[in-house]
Amino acid sequence: MTPLNSYITLGRSGLRVSPLSLGTMTFGEDSGWGASPETSETILAEYLDRGGNVIDTANTYTNGHSEKIIGDFFAARPGMRDRVVLSTKFFANLHPGDPNGGGAGRKALIAQLEESLRRLQTDYVDLYWLHGWDRRAPIEETLRGLDDLVAAGKVRYIGLSDVPAWVAAQAQTIAHFRGWAPVTALQLEYSLLERTSEGELLPMAEALGIGVLPWSPLRGGQLSGKYVRDGGAPAGSRRAGLIDGPTEQGWVVINAVAQVAAEIGVGSAEVALAWVRSRHAVTSTIIGARTVEQLRANLASLEVTLTPEQLAALDEPSTPSLDFPAYVTAGPGPVLGFGGATVDGVELPVWPMLLASSARY
């Protein structure tokens, strides 16, 4: 069992975070499927009372209403705001028609932060996330603008969300050599039904000291145990119209999760979340809830520890096909380079196309 207040250091920083972060995309009913402000505040209060300390929002969540709900919550509880890791994101344009209303240029990112601070009713955010890749904004401009915000005390740490691995690596390298605020954390979609980030993003984050916070660990509810084959999404599903339903292979994974859940005597959601939390590259998993009951079900996953056999039963059907050169670096690469030797405790066979004896020429 891992308590919610068993904190983990985020990446190569001094910031400590809960194993589960509270995502607030559901705060506000503006999109037709979220939680009311009253329910949102109840969810916030219970998460914090249980020891959680990471609140994740974005300027675009319910068109800014999510940030407003969070701001009102802390405004009514003086002194509590500084005890949490409050994060928000920029990139989305909340001013249609304004070419500088969104994106990652200096003008846009500073203006978006000021608007978020106003809604959050705070002087600073602990984590400020780039919420997408702006192909037309030089990464140096974005990084320098963020570094200025850190120097001004309005931002504590910097994160990247939903960007290609090469962009994140480029950003971290530039920040390092120019002495700018580094990239501390990375957000990406990751679940038993979406594991392709294992090819580039997760290894990159580990190598560069970047903490990983996966979002949609239940794949929009598909791993919650509520989806029935040929029955579509469950009634009231907030993601029903946002993502496609499970594929044929997806149903194989969903069934594997259900079997492990039945074996343990818990729900499918607890198993799926426990699997994500078990991945060594993951720092804190972002959970979302539209009701207090959903929050409690997600938090219950902290009581689940999967055995090696159960992990293997989930890994096998969910293993993805990764882009080149993933299959080379995972298999033939080590054998070609170190075949015939034992390296880091692993005995590697001789590469078949090479003679077992020493080189002849």
Q: Active-site residue 157, yes or no?
A: no
| Neighbouring C-alpha atoms within 13 Å toward the C-beta of 90 | 27
**Phi and psi at residue 34, to the nearest 5°:** -90, -170
Going by C-beta distance under 8 Å and a sequence separation of 6 or more, which residues neighbour residue 260? 271, 306, 310, 313, 314
Nearest to 269 by CA among 294, 291, 292, 249: 294
DSSP 1: -
Report the run of H or E that residue 140 belongs to, with start and end.
helix 139-151
Out of 7, 61, 157, 190, the active site residue is 61
Q: Per the structure block, which two tokens stand in for 98?
A: 């304004």
Q: What radius of gyration, in Å, describes the C-alpha atoms of the chain?
A: 22
With 0-12 CB in 10 A as exposed, 13-18 as middle and 19+ as buried, what is 344?
Answer: exposed
**Residues 190, 239: contact at Cβ < 8 Å?**
no
DSSP-derived pairing of the beta strands 16-17 and 8-9 = antiparallel
Active site residues: 61
